[in-house]
A and B are shown apart, each in its own frame.
Chain A
Amino acid sequence: MATDEEQGTAESARPLQTDIPGTASVEPDDDTPVTQPALPELSESLGEYIRVVAKRIRSGESGVLPVLGGLILLVIIFQVQDSVFLSAGNLVNLLVQGSVFVLLGMAEIWVLVLGEIDLSVGYVAGIGGTVMAILSTTHGLPWWVAILGAIASTAVIGAVWGTLVIRLRLPSFVVTLAGLLGMEGVLLYLVNANGTGGTIRITDPVLIDIANGNLSTVAGWIVMIVSVALVGGVIFFRDRHRRMSGLVAPPLVISVLKIVVIAAAGIALVLVCNTDRGALIPVQGVPYVVLVVLGVLGVWTFLLGRTRFGRYLYAIGNNAEAARRAGISLGWNKQWAFTLTGLTAGIAGVVYASRLGSISNNIDGGTLVLYAVASAVIGGASLFGGRGKMVYALLGGLVIATIYNGMGLLGLAASYQYMVTALVLVAAVTIDSLARRGRTTGD
């Protein structure tokens, strides 16, 4: 995961005046002052590479490092307080707990990049879970129909918000605030009409397994090896392509190092998950939900980073007028961003309902959406648009899940959890703000 960030800094070129044949005639004599120290170049040698990366971090382009550092700090604190924290059982539990926050955070990233916000994702996720439960339990449809129905309905809801924001030029804050209230009403209506005693139970074993089932230990290894090979191959061949095209690319050592780190993370994940964590009967294996989260992360990162659509969202989020003049359709792109927010919220709802084994009318969608926004912002996304990556939601969501889980282990009341989460949120925004101040004033 961390590679996405490193790769951003790695895509750099050497100064223009060098190494392009036939252009030696540019005279740097009288009036070509280099006005300000630009960001340093990435160079071929390993030592230089590390120095340059360090300099970039100091100048404010710290990327995911602050949140990664914070996460490690939290883990250390909780482990010191209670040695159960780093046990396999608890870590897997933490991943499952965090999955909903991470998915909702990724839903939020789509609109945050545009400089918009969606306050309704919590209850929209609830609608997703409810639709799935109704289709599966009430109507007895196959599990995949239930999931598709859930995701389609939340995508449509997201599309409706988008249409209201774009066609009627309403602020997304207000549209989705109305959405938050309205969807809570719809949720109550659906659950009360279809359930008993304010809940709809989920009985389909496949749907239950999404958040509660595990891959077999062998399958876990196979999936991990295939994924690492895939991601590693992409990194290796892209860096090689850049080197061969005469563009500056990270040294081979760095490419290999990235792949080694990814492989190590994958191995660690599978090792932890494959440890028997059952009390009475053996429970082991990578939870399916981890695959769901990583799959969504991979596809969304790809869409945001490698396609025109993703590029245009960043452009619109930073300077909508510039994007419009470049011939980019603001309406079409925004429409899809809102739709993807709804769709991703639907996936979160499916996971949420699966984990609880039921959907009830007392879902706290208001708190969920605040956690969703907090995940994205703690990870490093900007509420003002133009900045944010899917991996930010993963890291931010893990931070929140760690606090939630760790404080629960210590037996601290919910009151403390909220207060600590608040402090972390403020700290994250402060670090970001300080880093950016560093960037504007130089070093």
Chain B
Amino acid sequence: MSVVTEGRATGGPDGSTGPLLSLRGISKHFGPVHALNDVDLDVPPGQITALVGDNGAGKSVLIKTIAGIWAPTSGTISWEGRPVEIRTPREADNLGIATVYQDLALCDNLDIVQNMFLGHEDLTHRLLDETRMELTARQTLTDLSVTTVQSVRQLVGSLSGGQRQSVAVARAVMRDARLVIMDEPTAALGVSQTAQVLDLIHTLGARGITVIVISHNLNDVFEVADRLAVLYLGRLVSSGSIDEYDRQRAVELITTGRSADDEPAGPATTDREG
């Protein structure tokens, strides 16, 4: 219903729980094209994982697999240790996985409240309960420290890029998302707008929400991420705590799939932090 509870933040750091989301041997083939090959990835709760890779590395294919847009050709997905099948966006939604796509999927002709509740409107006597929705939307935006929108009854079409991103994320958070996947949230944004969105991602992390963020921009990645996962031509070539990487190594991994610091590139290395 309403906003993120404090309790969730404790799930991650205390170490007692395993990864929130765990992928094992995920492959996705489109006919002869092997978009994903045997990807293993663990996403620990309460952390911000940056998924990086060059164009065509399979980032979007991977998140669409998690988001239920299509099923993987092979491999298993576990959610809180239990194997799950995510066949539709609705099933992802029910697990608590929310995806904020690059195009944001907002309706410009509806206002912020209407967009945040789209598909999940509060009803009273089978009629839209605008007052309750407006109060909840305002509270959620406030909790996320989104302060730049003047009115929650503004049409989304009149918002700036950063504000639109905020609305899309707030929608996910309001529906009790536990894992928010953001696809290139800062692409096409100016400097101050980018700063807004990065703040927002920090806020999500601070509230114990797990985040997977796709980005091309290593500045942004090193600013917000706790963990890094690098895809190269459909394979996960490296993943681990952000501390294990510097800019140089990340660039090498993204462009060549291997790094001079690394042992010869194995298909996947996970969870070195133990």
A15 touches B151 (CB 8 A): yes
A55 to chain B, nearest CB (A): 13
Determine if B107 is an interface residue (Cβ-Cβ < 8 Å): yes
Residues of A within 8 A of B107 (CB): 314-315, 318-319, 322-323, 386
Q: Which of B133-162 contact A (CB under 8 A)?
A: 134-135, 138-139, 141-143, 145-155, 158-160, 162
B123, B152, B153, B196 — which one has the most chain A CB atoms within 10 A of its CB? Answer: B153
A36 to chain B, nearest CB (A): 6
Q: Given A16-B138, A41-B150, A327-B90, is A308 in contact with B123 using a C-beta cutoff of 8 Å? A: yes
Determine if B33 is an interface residue (Cβ-Cβ < 8 Å): no
B131 touches A242 (CB 8 A): yes
CA distance A356 to B97 in the complex (A): 60
A13 touches B110 (CB 8 A): no
A14 touches B105 (CB 8 A): no
User: Interface of chain A, helix or strand or loop or mixed?
Assistant: loop
A16 touches B149 (CB 8 A): yes
A262 to chain B, nearest CB (A): 21
Residue among B138, B155, B159 making CB contact with A20, cutoff 8 Å:
B138
Q: Which of A386-407 contact B (CB under 8 A)?
A: 386-387
Q: Which of A1-44 contact B (CB under 8 A)?
A: 11-17, 20, 23, 26, 28, 30-36, 38-39, 41
B151 touches A38 (CB 8 A): yes
Determine if B223 is an interface residue (Cβ-Cβ < 8 Å): no
Determine if A169 is an interface residue (Cβ-Cβ < 8 Å): no
Residue in B closest to A315 when the chains form the complex, CB atoms: B107
Determine if A241 is an interface residue (Cβ-Cβ < 8 Å): yes
B104, B148, B159 — which one has the most chain A CB atoms within 10 A of its CB? Answer: B148
Please report the total number of A residues contacting B with Cβ < 8 Å.
45
Q: Given A31-B199, A35-B163, A308-B121, is A41 in contact with B148 using a C-beta cutoff of 8 Å? A: no
B118 to chain A, nearest CB (A): 4
B193 touches A35 (CB 8 A): yes
Residues of B within 8 A of A15 (CB): 150-151
Residue in B closest to A308 when the chains form the complex, CB atoms: B121
Residue in A closest to B114 when the chains form the complex, CB atoms: A311
Determine if B127 is an interface residue (Cβ-Cβ < 8 Å): yes
B230 to chain A, nearest CB (A): 28
Determine if A250 is an interface residue (Cβ-Cβ < 8 Å): no
B147 touches A327 (CB 8 A): no
Determine if A307 is an interface residue (Cβ-Cβ < 8 Å): yes
CA distance A308 to B122 in the complex (A): 9
Residues of B within 8 A of A367 (CB): none
B163 touches A326 (CB 8 A): no
Residues of B within 8 A of A246 (CB): 135
Q: Interface size class for chain B?
A: 35 or more
A245 touches B131 (CB 8 A): yes
B134 touches A13 (CB 8 A): yes
Q: Given A35-B160, A247-B135, A307-B126, is A16 in contact with B147 using a C-beta cutoff of 8 Å? A: yes
B196 touches A328 (CB 8 A): no
CA distance A314 to B33 in the complex (A): 38
B142 touches A23 (CB 8 A): yes
Residues of A within 8 A of B146 (CB): 16
A386 touches B109 (CB 8 A): yes
Determine if A346 is an interface residue (Cβ-Cβ < 8 Å): no
Residues of A within 8 A of B264 (CB): none
A152 to chain B, nearest CB (A): 24
Residue among B118, B150, B152, B154 making CB contact with A315, cutoff 8 Å:
B118
B109 touches A13 (CB 8 A): no
A317, A325, A328 — which one has the most chain B CB atoms within 10 A of its CB? Answer: A325
Residues of B within 8 A of A39 (CB): 150-151, 154-155, 158
CA distance A307 to B148 in the complex (A): 30
Residues of A within 8 A of B131 (CB): 241-242, 245, 247
Residues of A within 8 A of B104 (CB): 322
Determine if B80 is an interface residue (Cβ-Cβ < 8 Å): no
A35 touches B106 (CB 8 A): no
Determine if B96 is an interface residue (Cβ-Cβ < 8 Å): no
Residue in B closest to A244 when the chains form the complex, CB atoms: B131
Q: Which of B78-116 contact A (CB under 8 A)?
A: 89-90, 93, 101, 103-110, 114
Residue in B closest to A15 when the chains form the complex, CB atoms: B150
Residue in A closest to B199 when the chains form the complex, CB atoms: A31
A322 touches B134 (CB 8 A): no
Determine if B188 is an interface residue (Cβ-Cβ < 8 Å): no
Residues of B within 8 A of A318 (CB): 107-110
Residues of A within 8 A of B163 (CB): 35
Determine if B187 is an interface residue (Cβ-Cβ < 8 Å): no
B195 touches A31 (CB 8 A): yes
A322 touches B118 (CB 8 A): yes
Residues of A within 8 A of B89 (CB): 325, 327
B105 touches A322 (CB 8 A): yes
Residue among A34, A307, A314 making CB contact with B109, cutoff 8 Å:
A314
B109, B121, B128 — which one has the most chain A CB atoms within 10 A of its CB? Answer: B109
B201 to chain A, nearest CB (A): 13
CA distance A322 to B114 in the complex (A): 12
A35 touches B147 (CB 8 A): no
**What are some 26 contacts across the A-B interface (CB < 8 A)?**
A16-B146, A20-B142, A23-B142, A28-B147, A31-B199, A33-B148, A35-B163, A35-B192, A38-B150, A39-B158, A41-B151, A241-B131, A245-B131, A247-B134, A314-B109, A314-B110, A315-B110, A315-B118, A318-B109, A318-B110, A323-B107, A326-B118, A327-B90, A327-B119, A386-B107, A386-B109
- Additional A-B contacts beyond A13-B138, A246-B135 (20; CB < 8 A): A11-B130, A11-B153, A16-B141, A16-B146, A23-B143, A28-B147, A31-B192, A33-B192, A241-B131, A245-B131, A311-B121, A319-B106, A321-B103, A322-B106, A322-B118, A326-B105, A327-B89, A328-B119, A386-B107, A386-B109
| Ranked 3 nearest A-B pairs via Cβ | A326-B119, A322-B105, A31-B195
